[in-house]
Chains A and B, each alone.
Chain A
Amino acid sequence: MTASPAVSGIAGRVRRFRSRYSAGYLFVAPSMLFFLVFIFVPLGWSFLLSFQEFGFRTSTWVGLDNYIALVQDPIFRQSAVNTVIYSVFTVAVWVVIAMVLATLIHPLPPRLRTFFRAAYYLPAVTSAVFIALVWKWILNANPWGLANHVLSLFGAGPVGFISDPSPFAGASVALWSVILSSVLTIPAVGVVLYSAALAGIPQELYEAAETEGAGALAKFRYITVPLLKPITLYVAIIYTIAAFEVFERVYVMTGGGPGYATNTIVYSIWRTGFRFGDYGLASAQAFLLFVVIATISVLQFRALRSDVQY
């Protein structure tokens, strides 16, 4: 009632701004603060750290030395190569398996569908640590190791699996063993995502194809696969990111070894930063990883924008 002309100046504007918007700001404040403190500030900080060298309680600016050291370091180079080999093979197999499983599940009656989706998803709800621990036990080099026993039934083996660093088909036996344990883990998230996408393909397309005499394989090849392309890209990207960040499996099964045969980038980041306390070098490795992941993510957002039209 007493709105004097003086208040309707700046003070009035501030008051109006506050009464109109303060609730919105207050509601986002806690999470924005969280993102600032634990994600955005550390991101910049990590960038700065990557140009420093750490001694005991001191750090000095060393320019690009950390990055140069990494590029020249055969161990880091091997970690990068291992990570790429691991990612390429697991992602390729996971995507194919996920698509085939989802396609096979789709026409089943609801009860069976729910059953298989649950059975496939079950292993994904437990920590990778526990599953990796079992795989380490299955793949152990002794004759009582389950994998070696199975091999012995065919007159083969025993194979060292995760303890054998000898080269085999472009990588080491140990790395292939880790890859094997990964691809034998059902890509549950992919199955669920493909299932959702399959439900969006109009049934009429299949019916039309059938009237023209298309068999199951032809329908899969010419209808399902092309129409699932956008989701395939999405699944491939999330799996690529997950594969690039592989850690638990390596930590539990091999500890990066034998030697550096199964060292991966994230394992290397952890070891450099938290075993050896070399924050600068670890940050430089992390930043290289960030560039790779961010590139993949940008591709993902691009791809998602162009949606499929039926």
Chain B
Amino acid sequence: MAEGTAGLERRGAEPRVAAPSSLLPEVVAAPVPEAAITGGTAPGRRQSRRSRLFTLAVLAPVAVVGLFPFYWMVTTALTPRAAAIRVPPTLVPLDATLDNLVALFAQAPILLWAFNSLVIAAAIMVGHVVFDSMAGYAFARKRFPGKRLFFTLIVSSLMIPVHVTLVPRFILVTNLGLDDHLLGVIAPSIADVFGIFLMRQFMQSLPAELEEAARVDGASEWQVFWRIVLPLSMPAVATVAIFSFVGAWNAFLWPLIVLSDRALLTLPVGVALLQQEFSSNIGLQMAGALVGAVPMIVLFLLFQRHFLEGVRVGALKG
């Protein structure tokens, strides 16, 4: 069934530049089979039972090792304080308790941190969606002198590690009066290369007729973009939005530098602070890590395809 056509779209799977099949607008590609979205169709031939068993015997333990830190995070967060330092360690928390979580909410402004993280992540997400898609649209559709130069500059900025710009950015943000302010975290992340790249790639694949029709009907440039192109680009917008949100939520170094007021911290920075403030209370630290990690895990489980697709187009490192 899908095997025949999928082979065609799978060619040229070079990183970064390939338009992912699931991101092609529906006009171009009919609904893509689930397998193609997650990276290709099953090979034609079946595995023998023995090699299947061998495969699973390797893959399953690796998954257990990979997921173990989460298990240990949850277990420790639910273990009473005294039991956490028992020898031998308790692998299954039979005496599970919510004490650590209760203590966490009582002794640390964890809800405030979650709120700050949410504000920052949402603002950066909106910034990326609006500004990245605007630039992506111009690069995909508009002709103007300097376009190539601009694009080359943006792509070449991928070579610049953020760490090189930390000090000047901090001086800049301080001079703007935005240090120790959520805006100081948001402003330097309000657009990014990946989103521009992805939006451009996607918009190039859209048929131009709709835009021309709208222009004939008297729509302004902005209306064409906002009413026609952006709604058609929703699959790409979704990928950009999710990656921006998760990236901003998990960001650590820049918020650590900019924010110092305890009430203004984000979850990763706040939880890292917990290990200094409550260095002997491991259950409380793990409870904090749990509160920070769970929202992203839920997001991942809800939007799995977008994550894997985003990585394929070269979303981020590590």
Q: Which residue of A26, A34, A113, A198 has the most chain B CB atoms within 10 A of its CB atom? A: A34
- Least CB distance from B301 to A in Å reads 8
Verify B39–A196 contact, CB threshold 8 A: yes
- Least CB distance from A158 to B in Å reads 11
A192 to B307, CA, bound (A): 10
Of the stretches A3-11, A66-74, A167-175, A279-287, the one at the interface is A279-287
- Knowing A126-B250, A203-B44 touch, does A110 contact B34 (C-beta < 8 A)? yes
User: B67 to chain A: which residues have CB within 8 Å?
Assistant: 119, 122-123
Verify B297–A126 contact, CB threshold 8 A: yes
- Knowing A32-B135, A189-B318 touch, does A199 contact B15 (C-beta < 8 A)? no
Q: Is the interface of B mostly helix, strand, loop or mixed?
A: helix
A293 to B308, CA, bound (A): 26
Q: Which residue of B12, B52, B142, B154 has the most chain A CB atoms within 10 A of its CB atom? A: B142
Verify B168–A298 contact, CB threshold 8 A: no
- Least CB distance from B144 to A in Å reads 4
Verify A146–B89 contact, CB threshold 8 A: yes
Verify B11–A200 contact, CB threshold 8 A: yes
- Knowing A137-B282, A149-B87, A286-B164 touch, does A198 contact B40 (C-beta < 8 A)? yes
Verify B13–A144 contact, CB threshold 8 A: no
| Residue from the list A28, A118, A290 in contact with B164, Cβ < 8 A | A290
| B145: interface (CB < 8 Å) | yes
The residue on A at minimum CB distance from B117 is: A127
Of the stretches B24-32, B100-108, B233-241, B267-275, the one at the interface is B267-275
Q: Contact string, B38-74, partner A, CB cutoff 8 A, digits 1/0?
A: 1111111101000110011011001101110110110
- Least CB distance from B186 to A in Å reads 11
- Knowing A28-B138, A149-B89 touch, does A126 contact B43 (C-beta < 8 A)? no
Verify B268–A31 contact, CB threshold 8 A: no
Q: Contact string, A89-128, partner B, CB cutoff 8 A, digits 1/0?
A: 0000000010001001111111011101111111111111
Verify B150–A242 contact, CB threshold 8 A: no
User: In chain A between 207 and 231, which residues have their CB closer than 8 angstroms to a CB of chain B?
Assistant: 207, 216, 230-231
- Least CB distance from A140 to B in Å reads 8
Q: Contact string, B138-173, partner A, CB cutoff 8 A, digits 1/0?
A: 110011110100100110011111011111111110
| Residue from the list B15, B40, B191 in contact with A304, Cβ < 8 A | B15
| B300: interface (CB < 8 Å) | yes
| B202: interface (CB < 8 Å) | no
**Count of A-B contacts with CB under 8 A?**
335
User: B188 to chain A: which residues have CB within 8 Å?
Assistant: 38
User: A155 to chain B: which residues have CB within 8 Å?
Assistant: none
| Residue from the list B42, B153, B171 in contact with A40, Cβ < 8 A | B153
| B190: interface (CB < 8 Å) | yes
User: B221 to chain A: which residues have CB within 8 Å?
Assistant: 23, 26-27
Verify A125–B286 contact, CB threshold 8 A: no
Chain A contributes a number of interface residues (CB within 8 A of B) equal to: 112
Verify B317–A142 contact, CB threshold 8 A: no
Verify A129–B42 contact, CB threshold 8 A: no
| B16: interface (CB < 8 Å) | yes
Q: Contact string, B255-295, partner A, CB cutoff 8 A, digits 1/0?
A: 01100000000011001100100000010011001101100
| B180: interface (CB < 8 Å) | no
A293 to B157, CA, bound (A): 12
- Least CB distance from A92 to B in Å reads 15
Verify A114–B289 contact, CB threshold 8 A: no
Verify A129–B85 contact, CB threshold 8 A: no
User: B135 to chain A: which residues have CB within 8 Å?
Assistant: 27-28, 30-32
- Knowing A27-B225, A144-B86 touch, does A133 contact B312 (C-beta < 8 A)? no
User: In chain A between 254 and 308, which residues have their CB closer than 8 angstroms to a CB of chain B?
Assistant: 266, 269-270, 273-274, 279, 282-283, 286-287, 289-290, 293-294, 297-298, 304, 307
New A-B pairs, 16, CB < 8 Å, besides A106-B43, A110-B35, A198-B39: A20-B144, A39-B160, A42-B164, A42-B165, A46-B164, A49-B167, A104-B55, A116-B59, A122-B66, A127-B292, A129-B272, A133-B285, A134-B70, A144-B87, A269-B166, A286-B167
- For the complex of A and B, the 5 pairs showing the least CB-CB separation, nearest first, are A199-B40, A24-B142, A242-B318, A24-B144, A27-B138
- A sample of 21 inter-chain contacts (CB < 8 A) reads A25-B138, A31-B196, A34-B131, A101-B62, A108-B52, A113-B35, A121-B300, A145-B89, A192-B312, A238-B318, A245-B163, A247-B252, A251-B252, A251-B256, A270-B253, A270-B257, A282-B166, A283-B164, A289-B161, A293-B159, A297-B158
